[in-house]
Amino acid sequence: MKRTLRTHPLLAGFALLFFASCSLPRWNTKVDVNHRARTDQHGITIQEILTGIGPEVTPSSEVTLDYKVSLESGDPVDSSYDRGLPITFRMGEAPILGWEYALLGMKPGGRRLATLPPYQAYGEQGVEGLIPPLSVLVCEFELLEVADQRQP
């Protein structure tokens, strides 16, 4: 008698395992759930969405990332996604002060949500026509690359 997947339970079991494993995440992908928000010593509330893999952002790093910035009300302010161009800068030269603290410890492939109080954003002056004075900013980051500038 000829054995097929229908008649041989062992072959059917292996086939099921093989096809099920094709849809599982790769070994180097970390899937994260249920991260609690934390507030750092600078008043920035940070919530990990996805933890990346690799070297962490340090004060001497150069980072490349995509981001979305919105007001606390949800009104959009700026987005690298809209331009289709990520931003690269050295830590210490971030476009918004609070980014210096909000990005520390992130790893490539990671996603993080950070809520910046006004004194870590644009403060009392705001940005005319875009960001009212004393606005809280909500920033979502996706870290694409990190390089330590101390390395040759």
Mean pLDDT value of segment 128-147: 97
pLDDT of residue 35: 73
**Could you tell me the pLDDT band of residue 123, with boundaries at 50, 70 and 90?**
very high
Q: Is there a domain that residue 114 lies in?
A: yes
Mean pLDDT value of segment 69-92: 96
Mean pLDDT value of segment 31-50: 85
CATH of the domain at 130: 3.10.50.40
What's the chain's average pLDDT? 84
Q: Is there a domain that residue 56 lies in?
A: yes
pLDDT of residue 16: 46
Nearest to 62, CA basis, from 151, 152, 148? 148
Q: Is there a domain that residue 2 lies in?
A: no
pLDDT of residue 26: 43
pLDDT of residue 36: 85
Q: How many domains does the chain have?
A: 1
Nearest to 108, CA basis, from 141, 144, 63? 144
Q: Is there a domain that residue 9 lies in?
A: no
Q: Does residue 121 contact residue 97 with C-beta atoms inside 8 Å? A: yes
Q: Is there a domain that residue 19 lies in?
A: no
What are residue 109's DSSP bridge partners? none
Q: Is there a domain that residue 25 lies in?
A: no
Query: What is the DSSP pairing of strand 45-50 with strand 76-79?
Result: unpaired
Residue pLDDT, tens place only, 138-152: 999 999 999 986 655
Q: For residues 78 and 6, what is the distance between their CA atoms, to the nearest angstrom?
A: 57
Q: State which residues form the domain around 52.
A: 38-148
